[in-house]
Structure formats: structure tokens, C-alpha cells
Amino acid sequence: MPPASPRVTRPPSRRRGAARLSLAAVVALLALPACASTQPGATNEPQAERQPTTLVVENQSFLDANIYVVRGGQRIRLGLASGNSRSRFTIPANVIFGVTTLQFIADPVGAPRTPVSNEINVTEGEEVRLTIPPR
């Protein structure tokens, strides 16, 4: 019987090990998005900045006036427009939903009359102009 030849075993190739490792890394990276969870309503898209909707009041009267915005019977005070001046107010974002029908009230301080504007359609980001004429 011929003498038994020693069995030669080679250590695994480094290339083969590196290939297995990189394949495992690729599989792990592909599996990560499937395991990721998001909160309800959360999106990966950046939120669009909401543009403020403004009201510019040109008060040509000598009386100061409290300015209100009216939506669906709800009256919200925007501020005081000084007499004989121009004022700018920001309409609260929760008042505007798409195209919204609004009215404006100019309540002169110390006067019995309270003029109300016509209904107008306002869209987010618009600038609305209101003129209070002299008495």
C-alpha cells in the first residue's frame, strides 16, 4: 500500500471571503428600507412653506378702526388700523383653506357705524387690500 499522502487543505480564498462579505452587506442594505417604519402621515418629502396671507388696510379716515376677518360667522380680530395711515395684518393660517370666502369688518373707534366688506374669495399667500374712505 502506498504511503498515505497528507491531505492538503487550503485556507478559504480571501477573494471568496471578501465577495461573501460584500454580498451580505448589499443584502443587508437592501433589506433596511423594508424594515424601516414611518409615523402615520410622515413623508420623506420636504414640507412646502406656507406663504402668509396678508391684509393691507388704507385708512383714509381720521378715526382708528379695529379690523376683523369674518369666515362662516366667526369673527377674528386682526388688529388696529390707525387713522390716516396704512397698516398690514397677517390673516391667521387656520382661517385659509384653499379658496376661502372672507369678509372684513372695520369698526371705527368711537363711532356708531361698523362697515362690512363684500364677500371675497381669498387664496393662501394673497395680499388683500381694504380702503376705509374718509367720512
Torsion 119-64-90-76 (CA) sign: negative
Give CATH for domain 53-132: 2.60.40.2890
35-90: pLDDT as tens digits:
444 555 555 555 567 789 999 999 999 999 999 999 999 999 999 999 999 999 99
pLDDT above 70 as % of the chain: 64
Is it the case that residue 23 has pLDDT exceeding 50?
Answer: no
The predicted structure's pLDDT at residue 102: 97
The pTM of the full predicted model, rounded to 2 decimals, is 0.64
Contact 102, 111 (CB under 8 A): no
Domain ranges of the chain: 53-132
The predicted structure's pLDDT at residue 7: 40
